[in-house]
Amino acid sequence: MNYRHAFHAGNFADCMKHALLVWLLRALARKPAAFRVLDTHAGIGRYDLEADQAQRTGEWREGIRKLQGVTEGPLADYVALANEEAGSYPGSPAIAARLMREQDRLALVELHEEDHATLRALFRRDDRVAVHRRDAFEALRALTPFPENRGLILMDPPFEQPGEYERLAAGIVEVSRRQRRLVQAAWYPIKGRAPVRAFHTALAESGVKDVLAAELHLRDPTDAARLNGCGLVVVNPPYGFEEAARAILAELADLLATGEPGGGWTLTRIADE
């Protein structure tokens, strides 16, 4: 396991994933009934942007740094949350914990020994949060169905091993079988076109219903050695998601544009309701 998210926190991919995540969590919190969040690849929870790792790559300067002055429009809620602690950036666990209520629960899964220890320390005083050190896809089976029968699963693998798109598609199908009504959000990189097309086709043919793919493109994916964009598959999007996602993606594409050919965004329906 070589991937450490501390080098990438706050980059354009985090901005896209987290802006949509904030919207999804707000939608769940609209109803008073308790919900649960399972974050299968949690990372360390919160990231110091002044630390050596973040400074070395400087990826956040092309991401959250470019959004920090946003106070209005579709990104305002996410940016306000990201700006709450100066010099640090909230990962998905910190975002979920921030938007949950007293009655909601958060299960965090992180396999990396050191990152798991950091994550556990961050949430040691929050009784709503359970931190697990186990494999993400094994956790999907162990920790579902949710007793609340409502909630969200975020799958955010590092894509450092071959077969990650296939495992992600299999995980989505597995969750749909075990508890069909959960919202699922699964992040994926866009390096070349072919693996993304195969991933979408696998989902379209899987029988899972109500699936959208939101994508942010920095450039045409001609050089598959680069991260040219990223996507988030959303299963069972809450009411209003399509309209909100379009506005969020358009604003991100505008503010994070590199000026290269092929930049932009898409929202594609992969499976009908």
Ligand X SMILES: C[S@@+](CC[C@H](N)C(=O)[O-])C[C@H]1O[C@@H](n2cnc3c(N)ncnc32)[C@H](O)[C@@H]1O
Structure tokens given for 25: 């969590």
156 included as an active-site residue: yes
Minimum Å gap between C-beta 150 and ligand X is: 21
Could you give the maximum distance between any two Cα atoms of the chain, in Å?
A: 48
- Taking the least distance from each CB to ligand X, the nearer of 110 and 215 is 110
Q: What are the angstrom distances between the C-alpha of 236 and each of 123, 132, 240, 270?
A: 29, 26, 11, 12
In this structure, are residues 221 and 192 in contact, taking their beta carbons and an 8 Å threshold?
yes
- 């299960």: which residue's tokens? 107
Minimum Å gap between C-beta 66 and ligand X is: 18
Q: Which of 10, 63, 91, 171 binds ligand X (CB under 6 A)?
A: 91
- Taking the least distance from each CB to ligand X, the nearer of 31 and 98 is 98
User: Which parts of 69-88 interact with ligand X (CB under 6 A)?
Assistant: none
- Rounded-to-integer distance, Cα 102 and Cα 118, Å: 23
Catalytic residue of the set 126, 156, 220, 272 = 156
Minimum Å gap between C-beta 13 and ligand X is: 8
Structure tokens given for 132: 């697990």
Q: Return the closest-CA partner of residue 42 out of 119, 105, 100.
A: 119
- Taking the least distance from each CB to ligand X, the nearer of 41 and 105 is 41
* Interface contacts to ligand X, rule CB under 6 A: 1, 3, 5, 17, 39, 41-43, 91-92, 109-112, 115, 135-136, 156-158
> Which positions are catalytic?
156
